Amino acid sequence: MNFATMVVVIVAIVAFSLIRIAKYGFDRRQSGLVGPPPDDAEKAGMRREVEDLRERVKVLERITTDANAGHAIDTRRVADEIEALRDR
């Protein structure tokens, strides 16, 4: 197969595909490329989950920043001393 024949075959395949798409249409949801749109209950559930996750992130940020604060280090030191006294 020479180069010209290959080009003609490729152009024919593309033209055939475009004609089929134009004639029968192309619905992305029917093709399986995109899922069905979420209903209102599912959207509300997703919004609640996102809000819960945002709250968890806020708590984790507070824990990480409070753990490095000066008073947290002092509190940890005192707690370690108490535990050391309990072990004796």
pLDDT for position 16: 92
Q: Which residue has the tokens 């290959």?
A: 6
Q: How far apart are CA 4 and CA 11, in angstroms?
A: 11
Q: How many domains does the chain have?
A: 2
pLDDT for position 12: 93
For the chain, 88 residues long, the average pLDDT of each consecutive 10-residue run is 87 90 70 68 91 90 72 78 79
Over the range 22-44, which residues count as b (16 or more CB within 10 Å of their CB) and which as e? eeeeeeeeeeeeeeeeeeeeeee
Q: Are 48 and 83 in a shared domain?
A: yes
Q: Are 4 and 23 in a shared domain?
A: yes
The domain in which residue 16 lies consists of 1-35
Q: Are 31 and 43 in a shared domain?
A: no
Which pTM value belongs to this model?
0.40
Q: How far apart are CA 16 and CA 31, in angstroms?
A: 18
